[in-house]
Structure 1
Amino acid sequence: MDFGMLGFVIAGLVVGFIVGMTGVGGGSLMTPILLWFGINPAAAVGTDLLYAAITKSGGVLVHTKNRNVDWTITGWLTLGSVPAAALTLWFLKNLDSDPQAINAVIKHSLGFVLLLTALAILFKQKLMAFAHKHAGDHYHLSGTSLNVLTVLTGVMLGTMVALTSIGAGALGTVALFVLYPFLATRRLVGTEIAHAVPLTLVAGLGHASMGNMDWHLLGYLLMGSLPGIYVGSHLSGRIPDGILRPCLALMLFSIGYKLVF
């Protein structure tokens, strides 16, 4: 293994470790790292999407076994996200014959979504407190209105994920908590992961069909991330959340700002 490939293994190890410790940061860290390594934006997004689908599949099995997945909510989200991802990929495919045009759209979209993700991570506790406070009043939705908003949330997540490979984690979790404030945290996380797998798989395969995929790179990333997630999960809670989240948010905000401006 040459030095360049070793760098990808280490990148997978670092990202896996952070995801294991915090539960967020997968796509929002991996895609910028791949850009830093010189991978073009379209290939970085396509590779990261299949990377996410594979790594999160194991999480779905565990959460399903522990009954931590609300399949009804997952279904409504998927009803919006998968068609939205397919339409976004169709748009990218027909945007222009020049790959530079696609890369420009992906790069700027990635920057904006990173900024949103940073804000979601930074203000997650305040948003959750707001949702809990108003869970019993007129703010709380139910029935058809809730289902429609869940589908629309899926549409937004599907569009962002297909364009940038990020959004299903931090943004998806916050959106679910606002819509379903009475949903237990373990079920919220399990539901978000269950929704992310088909979404990232469809979007990843779509990018692969467009040639936006590096299979060897995917293998090296997985080689590092799987042990990284294992170690990080066992160390979760050792570093205070109040330190980890602001640091992660600041890092993502800096990357997003640089990509956009």
Structure 2
Amino acid sequence: MLGLLAGLMIGAVGIGGVILVPALVYFGGIPIHLAIAAAMMSYVLTGLIGTLVYTSKKSIRWSMAGWLCAGAMPAALAGALAAGRASPLVLEVLIGLLTVASGVHALPASPAGDGTRSNAVSSPALGFIGAVTGFGSALSGTGGPLILVPILMWLELPVLTAIALSQAIQLPIALLATAANFSSGNLDPTLGVLLAAGLAIGTFVGARVAHAVPRPALRRAVAIVLVVVGASIAIKVIARLFA
């Protein structure tokens, strides 16, 4: 069920994966390092499905996607290795901040990313953005869309283009991060497969919802969920620090 909900949000607005790791940790009682690794493994399938769906809709700008992926792949390996060595508290704080930030960014009904900017972002800039996305995604287990979509919208790309590119970059990030997590012994393949099944169905449906539902209403609904989840994580971390 958690995978299904997260997949729906990923496919529809590109930023739903952030709820997966907190849900596994706080509701499933799974150690955060294992939760991050399982989440990254599940994004392999959602990345593939999302890429195929958005390709069929001709929404992916492959000239941009190539540079994003080139920067993201080595960074994803580094991020996964760093996650395996980071303290659980640091990871929880990072995920909480990312969740709140993504929710706040999604709140405006008419974001900058609803513009019509096309290929104005340079290739080196795309490579750097890809590297930031790959490292941050693998480190936090939140998936590439969470980080990439807000950045591209800030650069005034159309929201649908940003979401489509985030799906294309998610697959290589997830593959390389999963390889690194497996080598470090943090991966539970069974959990990853179970999450992938729910995410796959949700992403497939969500990608179609994105092309049919009014964007402002969809964004606001997701934004509220993300802010609530992020605030809950922050409260739990603060309570633990002062317990």
Distance 1:256 1:217 in 2: 22
- Written as runs of structure 1 = structure 2, the 5 A alignment for 1:124-143 is 125-128=110-113, 142=120
Q: Does 1:75 align with 2:66?
A: yes
> Post-superposition shift, 1:201?
1.5
> Post-superposition shift, 1:160?
1.0
Task: Give the alignment partner of residue 188 of structure 1, picking from 156, 162, 170.
Answer: 162
Distance 2:100 2:227 in 1: 10
Identity %: 21
Name 2:50's counterpart in structure 1: 59
Structure number with greater Rg is 1
Mean alpha-carbon deviation: is it higher for 202-211 or for 165-174?
Answer: 165-174
The normalised TM-score by structure 2 is: 0.79
> Post-superposition shift, 1:34?
0.6
Name 1:113's counterpart in structure 2: 98
> Post-superposition shift, 1:35?
0.6
Name 2:241's counterpart in structure 1: none
Task: Give the alignment partner of residue 131 of structure 2, picking from 155, 172, 193.
Answer: 155
Name 2:14's counterpart in structure 1: 24
Distance 2:219 2:35 in 1: 30
Name 1:40's counterpart in structure 2: 31
Cα distance per residue 1:54-110 (max 9 Å; x no partner): 1220121233344322222112112222222222334455x4xxxxx5433322222
Cα distance per residue 1:167-192 (max 9 Å; x no partner): 521431232233363xx554433222
> Post-superposition shift, 1:229?
4.3
Distance 2:125 2:80 in 1: 23
Distance 1:58 1:141 in 2: 25
> Post-superposition shift, 1:212?
1.6
Distance 2:63 2:54 in 1: 15
Write the letter of the residue equivalent to 1:61. Answer: L
Paired residues in the alignment total 234
Q: Does 1:250 align with 2:227?
A: yes
RMSD: 3.1
Please state whether the residue corresponding to 2:92 is helix, strand or coil. helix
- Written as runs of structure 1 = structure 2, the 5 A alignment for 1:83-102 is 83-92=74-83, 95=85, 101-102=86-87
8 Å CA contact 1:141, 1:179 repeated in 2: no
Q: Does 1:176 align with 2:167?
A: no
Please state whether the residue corresponding to 2:14 is helix, strand or coil. coil
Name 2:176's counterpart in structure 1: 202
Unaligned segments of structure 1, at least 5 residues: 1-9, 96-100
Write the letter of the residue equivalent to 1:251. Answer: V
The normalised TM-score by structure 1 is: 0.75
Q: Does 1:220 align with 2:211?
A: no
8 Å CA contact 1:121, 1:170 repeated in 2: no
- Written as runs of structure 1 = structure 2, the 5 A alignment for 1:226-245 is 226-229=200-203, 237=213, 240-241=217-218, 243-245=220-222
Unaligned segments of structure 2, at least 5 residues: 239-243
Distance 2:51 2:19 in 1: 21
8 Å CA contact 1:88, 1:163 repeated in 2: yes
For the structure 1 residues 154 and 66, does the alpha-carbon distance in structure 2 shift closer, same or farther, using more than 3 Å as the test? same
Please state whether the residue corresponding to 2:111 is helix, strand or coil. helix
8 Å CA contact 1:43, 1:212 repeated in 2: yes
Please state whether the residue corresponding to 1:169 is helix, strand or coil. helix
Mean alpha-carbon deviation: is it higher for 193-202 or for 149-158?
Answer: 149-158
For the structure 1 residues 48 and 113, does the alpha-carbon distance in structure 2 shift closer, same or farther, using more than 3 Å as the test? same
